Structure 1
Amino acid sequence: MRRFAMTAAALMAACFTLSATAQVVVTIGHSAPLTGPQAPNGKDNENGARLAIDELNKAGVTVAGQKVTFKLDSEDDQADPKIGVQVAQKLVDSGVVAVVGPYNSGVAIPASRVYNTGNVPMLPVASNPALTKQGFRNIFRIGASDEQLGGTMGQFAAKTLKAKTAAVIDDRTAYGQGVAEQFTKVAKANGIQIIDQEFTSSSATDFLGILTNIKSKNPDVIFFGGYAAQGAPMAKQMRQRGLRAKLLGGDGICSADMGKVAGDAASIVYCAQGGIALEKTAAGREFLEKYKAAYNIDTQVYAVSYYDGVKLLADAMVKAGTTTDKAKLTAQLAKENYKGVAGTYSFDEYGDLKGAPTTVYTIKNGLPVPYGQ
């Protein structure tokens, strides 16, 4: 009996030790187009988030005395607002602590209402200014807004390209309209005359009719508010129609996929991305090398933002001392000043990134390269 009593006591002590050191599993949600024409961008974002999670788990993160294991619940919103809302409800119901994404403004705006109701912090790169003007306190945009992206290209067209006239095309999505409107506003303020405005859809691939109309007006530049899936064939068809204009756009066309599909025609493209040029910093170069080693492909646009976003969330959890209290996590995110690879993340009263840097790129050898490099 004495031997049994000692064994039982040892078992109880062992169980207590195991419970004290048990890992807490924290699931972060991810919403993006993982299928369809925008899948390269969605998978790129997912890869960035997974790379951060792998590093956090290898390093070991402790929150309020408990070791944390991070997991990613990645969902395909297909760049469709209705599906994006369904994905948002699924992630909220499953108990994710926060969400990185959505990627598309047209998805992020309606989905944000679900995340707000569920008190789930969301970290999107979706750039339409309306997203953060809804009065919600759970949104923290980890990329530049349309005001910054479109505005940068408006100034670039006027001051660097010395453009006097421009035509504007947008794909009627929340993103495309938003970035085109901001380009138009800043271009006009810098003396550029908008001589034509055309519209297309986010599924179109034939722009010959639109381009024929534009060619007759002979603009110096064409600004396209949309994504690479449309921007790449547009660039090729501009070449076919013999347009002399340069093709300008925001981050939606500023990707390796743009260069891959457009081929030689990508040489007429100038585009803006949020963040600093990764090639110009040691941390940026290290990230690009790690990403290539992990996935054997080059980054598209925002993998680094999602990488930084996940690590920002981990930093906020450590500082807030919780992995479950979303109110405390949201409050901590609002006062973060986190130095990531792509820049420093701190947010204004609306949840927009303070002083979000933007970089203008051209496409060389199939890849975005900072202008002038």
Structure 2
Amino acid sequence: MQLTSKLLPVAIAMAFATGGAYAQEIIKIGHVAPVSGQNAHLGKDMENGAKMAVEDLTAKNIKIGGKPVKFVIQYEDDAGDPKQGTNAAQKLVDAKVQGVIGHLNSGTTIPASKIYYDAGIPQISPAATSPVYTKQKFNTTFRVVANDNKLGGTLGAYAVQKLGAKKIAVIDDRTAYGQGVAEEFVKGAKKAMPGVQIVGKEFTNANATDFNAILTNIKSKNPDLVFFGGMDSVGGPLLRQMKALGINAKYMGGDGVCTDALYRLSAGAAADGVVTCAEAGGVPAEMSKNIDEFRARYKKQFGQEVQLYAPYVYDAIMTMVQAMQEANSSEPAKYLPYLAKIKHQGVTGPIAFDQFGDIKDGALTLYTYKAGKKTQMEVVK
């Protein structure tokens, strides 16, 4: 039967639906981040990174196993809450996603990882740094950033060796990330200088707004440096209240506070040279062309600077897709072994994983703030 012009669109649609010559394979990747709650600005940043990755993959007309494919991201919000995180994970499993990028917080990433493992779905976190995540002996867990052992330990050594800190107060938000990075910071500081004094250990929570009691206690100890383990939504107001109370100590934190938003959240208390923080990744200046181009594209597309994790989400997706290409399959069980031995050149640097799923030779980038802007100091391997 000859098709009329009216019937032709219907025939094409049927060909897609029934796996005909025109069909594309749909590859569904889950993405989980807190796009509500106090860390929503970081979660949105992550989603933007995922959008850029899919746009670039679409432009490349990727084929897997000789078949044209279309990548679709299923976005879920965990609000930084462990219970909501596991609910989001189960939704992705039920939707039969072929891989997962996320979560941001270690406290949501760790419980969710068991759900993905049980379903055999590879998971790459672009942000979670707790060592527990990759020490569970789950062969489905990977991350593209350095863990807290590297992050906290390096910051501890830097505090005493480069900043000359002798009396240090430590505050954490009691989350898996905040407590973990604070503990590793203390270990790193004591290892680098056994005589360093930890004059106070205080804790708050991830939703706190009033720090007067713990800061008054810390002020009486007269520290020359305060380390905070937590996110910028708490770390910024904490720094502002430190200044208001006349605590003139240096301020240090991990990647959770190392955002462009910190200066605004601290109401300008992150003055020149006051803050030292570290991003759990980075490339030396002589190799920074790719990340610089990514940041410029991001700003042009979204009208703002990269907050923190967008390039790591981008790299995580590209790494996962490369494993699918090498395996000639998007089936999790088939591409998982290729992901474990992947070598990917990302915008954040080379990506390969050790036997635990941690990134090999993970770098850190140290930052401070000058004239209200997050400013790179150095990359540390």
TM-score range relative to shorter protein: over 0.9
How many angstroms does 1:364 deviate by?
A: 2.7
Partner in structure 2 of residue 69 of structure 1 = 70
How many angstroms does 1:284 deviate by?
A: 1.2
Partner in structure 2 of residue 123 of structure 1 = 124
State whether residues 21 and 66 of structure 1, in contact with CA within 8 Å, keep that contact through their aligned partners in structure 2. Answer: no
State whether residues 279 and 285 of structure 1, in contact with CA within 8 Å, keep that contact through their aligned partners in structure 2. Answer: no
Return 5+ residue gaps in structure 1 as ranges.
none
CA distance in 2, matches of 1:96, 1:198: 41
State whether residues 26 and 69 of structure 2, in contact with CA within 8 Å, keep that contact through their aligned partners in structure 1. Answer: yes
How many angstroms does 1:257 deviate by?
A: 1.5
CA distance in 2, matches of 1:372, 1:333: 30
CA distance in 1, matches of 2:248, 2:216: 12
Q: TM-score, normalised by structure 2?
A: 0.92
| Matched-pair identity in % | 44
Give a deviation string over 1:17-70, Cα, whole Å, max 9, x none. Answer: 982342111111011110111001111011111101111101210101111111
CA distance in 1, matches of 2:228, 2:3: 74
Matches within 5 A, 1:21-60: 21-60=22-61
Q: Tell me, yes or no, if structure 1 residue 201 matches structure 2 residue 208.
A: no
CA distance in 2, matches of 1:132, 1:174: 13
Give a deviation string over 1:194-248, Cα, whole Å, max 9, x none. Answer: 1110010000011121111111111111110000011001111111111121111
Partner in structure 2 of residue 300 of structure 1 = 307
Q: What letter matches 1:57 in structure 2? A: T
Match of 2:321 among 311, 314, 317: 314
How many angstroms does 1:264 deviate by?
A: 2.0
How many angstroms does 1:365 deviate by?
A: 3.8
Q: Tell me, yes or no, if structure 1 residue 80 matches structure 2 residue 84.
A: no
CA distance in 2, matches of 1:360, 1:342: 15
Helix, strand or coil: the match of 2:97?
Answer: coil
Match of 2:224 among 207, 220, 225: 220
State whether residues 58 and 70 of structure 2, in contact with CA within 8 Å, keep that contact through their aligned partners in structure 1. Answer: yes
Partner in structure 1 of residue 139 of structure 2 = 137
Q: What letter matches 1:272 in structure 2? A: A
State whether residues 283 and 349 of structure 2, in contact with CA within 8 Å, keep that contact through their aligned partners in structure 1. Answer: no
Partner in structure 2 of residue 355 of structure 1 = 361
CA distance in 1, matches of 2:15, 2:98: 27
How many angstroms does 1:278 deviate by?
A: 8.1
Helix, strand or coil: the match of 2:141?
Answer: coil
Q: TM-score, normalised by structure 1?
A: 0.94
How many angstroms does 1:277 deviate by?
A: 5.2
CA distance in 1, matches of 2:201, 2:3: 82
CA distance in 1, matches of 2:150, 2:22: 46
State whether residues 327 and 334 of structure 2, in contact with CA within 8 Å, keep that contact through their aligned partners in structure 1. Answer: yes
Helix, strand or coil: the match of 2:160?
Answer: helix
Return 5+ residue gaps in structure 2 as ranges.
none
Helix, strand or coil: the match of 2:143?
Answer: coil
Q: What letter matches 1:118 in structure 2? A: A
Which is richer in helix? 1
Helix, strand or coil: the match of 2:269?
Answer: helix
State whether residues 263 and 366 of structure 1, in contact with CA within 8 Å, keep that contact through their aligned partners in structure 2. Answer: no
State whether residues 282 and 349 of structure 2, in contact with CA within 8 Å, keep that contact through their aligned partners in structure 1. Answer: yes
Helix, strand or coil: the match of 2:139?
Answer: coil
Give a deviation string over 1:258-293, Cα, whole Å, max 9, x none. Answer: 122213211222111012158761111100011001
Matches within 5 A, 1:165-180: 165-180=167-182
Q: What letter matches 2:201 in structure 1? A: Q
Change (3 A) 1:317 1:166: same
State whether residues 41 and 300 of structure 1, in contact with CA within 8 Å, keep that contact through their aligned partners in structure 2. Answer: yes
State whether residues 31 and 74 of structure 1, in contact with CA within 8 Å, keep that contact through their aligned partners in structure 2. Answer: yes
Partner in structure 2 of residue 262 of structure 1 = 266
How many angstroms does 1:332 deviate by?
A: 0.7
Matches within 5 A, 1:99-114: 99-114=100-115
